A and B are shown apart, each in its own frame.
Chain A
Amino acid sequence: MVALGLALLAVTALTGWQATRGVEEFGAPPVSAALDPAPGSSGEAAIPIRSGGFTTPTTAPVRLSIPTVRIDAAVRPVGVDPKTGELAVPASVSSVGWYRYGPGMAANAGSLVIAGHVDGADQGVGALFRLSEIRSGARISVQGADGSVRGFRVVSREAFRKSEVPYDRLFDRNGPPRLTLVTCGGSFDRRTGSYRDNVVVTAVPVG
């Protein structure tokens, strides 16, 4: 009887280990930490003189396409939920959100962030459901509101527990230009209705 119990427990542990795949990680993003210079600093020797004006808006991405994992979604500009301070991911799980305060289509530095639901409790599978299947080297195309198209190549996929996500790096507005895709993954807590992890895919410009 003891032997039977031990054997059953061993089988359980084995199947549990197999079932708990988690999200596979690969590669490394081009930066390991946010690269913020001092506020308002500039490395120029000459003293820049400006007229008292305001910054100009950037070009918004409008479509995200990753053929190898059949992702093709409308991109909407999103900001921050004032109640939580979290990214205001579009409520409709079929579209994805571009963080409009960060780098846009024309940026030559920093992280262009697009986030979307993996799924929704009432809406089913989301636009980025298959992001955890993406492979290193996969091509991503982002189309801008002005018709411009930028190509990217996947270099890494990472999974972070939500308490350990390096937000400053993901939303970095400096450093090498890159595309950062964010969704949810890992084990799901049915009590809170949320996932344990954020899945982060980083891609670098091609061409």
Chain B
Amino acid sequence: MQLLRAGAVSGLAAMAGLAISAPALAAETSQNSSVYVVHGIPDQAVDVYVNGEKALSDFAPTKVAGPLDLPAGSYDIVLTKPGADPAASPLLKVDDAAVPGGENLSLVAHLSAVGAPTLTPFVNDTSNVDAGQARLIVRHTAAAPAVDVRAGGEPVFQDLANPKEAKADIAAGTVDADVVLAGTDDVVLGPTELKPAEGTATIVYAIGSAESDSLAVTSQVIAGLHSAPSGVPAGSGGLADTGPPVWWYGLLAGSVMVLLIGVGSVISRRTTRVSRQ
């Protein structure tokens, strides 16, 4: 049981992660953050305690909970076996995890590259995508070496290491993805058919352990990031033209010409009269 071996884990790593990945938040600290919790440790359901209160019961591996609406601040997070006493026998304990304000975060319980349970916060990019696009985010949260992520056999994200992420906005649709050891063709995960939906961020987590042959993926979808198309081109014939017809422009030109001739003749008559005096 890797979880039991790990015991208490320092919260420093989690705090440092938050401080680095969430810059320029000072202006927004008055807003709450939306926080998701992702369970990426295989084979062990957990209870999740936030500041001593039980937030999630019997939370199963690969599941995603949230969003929790949390004010900015520091939080003590404890994971226990279901029903266990959080003070006595935590599986994972993070003190003073800093949650910034006005952000969208995923707190991921997962194994480090060497297989120790840990908690990593990721800031989710919830900026809008263009119409027709989807955002694909891949997070390496498995006890495994650095990997390349391939789509249709071509590497799209290269040399991704635990606990980093890579992302791209792509045309919505179906992607046949697999994961290989970085720089090789050794498939460690997949192939998996991903269907990133338009206007969403689809976050794919590699979880589990290569050593114990428990590598797997789980995913999280954040919707509502869509944009509207930029135009509706719906006519090229001119049959529904409601502007003035062509003959009208002829009439306008004729009228102006007659008027000009008239004005011209008045001026020339006056000039003649003046010159006679």
Q: Write the residues of chain A forming the contact surface with B, with a CB cutoff of 8 angstroms.
A: 1-6, 8-9, 11-12, 15-16, 19-23, 36-42, 47-55, 79-80, 82, 84-87, 89, 99, 101, 115-121, 123-126, 128-129, 132, 162, 165, 167-168, 170-171, 173, 182-188, 190, 193-196, 198
Contacts and interface: CB of A to CB of B under 8 A. Distances in A.
A22 B244 CA distance: 10
Contacts of A187: 241-244
Given A53-B219, A117-B234, 20 more contacts: A1-B261, A1-B262, A5-B259, A8-B258, A9-B255, A12-B255, A39-B222, A40-B223, A47-B56, A47-B65, A49-B65, A52-B219, A86-B231, A101-B131, A101-B226, A118-B237, A170-B228, A171-B228, A187-B242, A198-B234
A194 B228 contact: no
Contacts of A11: 251, 255
Given A12-B251, A84-B230, A173-B226, A54 B221 contact: yes
Contacts of B239: 118-119, 124-125, 129
A3 B87 CA distance: 101
A87 B229 contact: yes
Interface residues of B, number: 68
A37 B224 contact: yes
Interface of B: 34, 55-56, 59, 62-68, 104, 126, 130-132, 171-172, 194-195, 197-200, 202, 205, 217-226, 228-245, 248, 251-252, 254-256, 258-263, 265-266
29 contacts: A1-B265, A1-B266, A3-B262, A5-B256, A8-B255, A12-B251, A16-B252, A39-B223, A42-B67, A47-B55, A49-B63, A50-B65, A51-B63, A80-B130, A80-B131, A87-B233, A121-B237, A124-B239, A165-B231, A165-B232, A167-B231, A171-B131, A171-B228, A184-B234, A185-B242, A187-B242, A188-B238, A188-B241, A194-B236
